[in-house]
Amino acid sequence: MVEIDLRNAGLAAFLAWLWPGAGHLYQRRYAKGILLMVVVLSMYFFGLFIGEGHVVYASWTPTDKRWQYICQLGTGLVALPALVQARRVFGEPPKPPLWDGFMAPPEQPVRPESPDELARWHERLSYRFELGTLYTMIAGLLNILAIYDAYAGPFGASEEDEESDDSEKDRDS
């Protein structure tokens, strides 16, 4: 059986969250690291692309609680600009968003009866807004599984070790 050196499991998990696949690369599991990096980031950026950059944003206002962002945050560093934008937009005093509004929360309407920016995004993008949100959420959730793998190692590795130890004990007695 091949021994896998997980090195510092906590650091590997943090690196896996920070940049998908980085924890596995740190553990010298290069094939898995590159595969995870390509799959998670491709899925994330594809979702961001079809949603025209509007599907990842952080907002906790009474009218727009963006719970989807919690899943998207699983992708790590690539989702953090949304936190920067939310802090600027909702901070005291409010500031205009950076980067031409990339990952910024939608502007709230001046009058409650007027359509807000989120409604315009939904109207313009149609199903692509929801599909882009779904792709970015799944990328984040998939990376959470990769983080667990970087921390705990491959599934079943410790079980096989325990079974082989038990069988050796049975043979010895």
DSSP state of 105: P
Domain count, the chain: 1
- With respect to residue 159, please indicate whether it lies within any of the assigned structural domains: no
State the pLDDT at residue 133.
Answer: 98
Residue 24, domain member (yes or no): yes
Backbone angles phi, psi at 64, to 5 degrees: -145, 85
- Mean pLDDT, consecutive 10-residue stretches, the chain (173 aa), reads 81 98 96 98 98 95 90 98 94 90 84 79 95 98 97 72 57 58
How far is the C-alpha of 2 from the C-alpha of 22, rounded, in Å?
A: 22
Examine residue 20 and state whether it is found in any structural domain, yes or no. yes
Domain-embedded: residue 29: yes
Tell me the per-residue pLDDT of 79-105, one tens digit each, with 9 for 90 and over: 999 999 999 999 899 899 999 889 999
How far are the Cα atoms of 113, 123, 145 from residue 23, in angstroms, in the given order? 48, 40, 12
Whether 170 is covered by a domain: the verdict is no
Tell me the sheet residues that pair with 61.
64
Residue 67 lies in a domain: yes
- In this structure, the number of other CB atoms found within 10 A of the CB of residue 119 comes to 12
* Owning domain of residue 138: 9-108+117-152
Q: 1 lies in a domain?
A: no
Nearest to 21, CA basis, from 103, 124, 121, 139: 139
**pLDDT the model gives residue 4:** 75
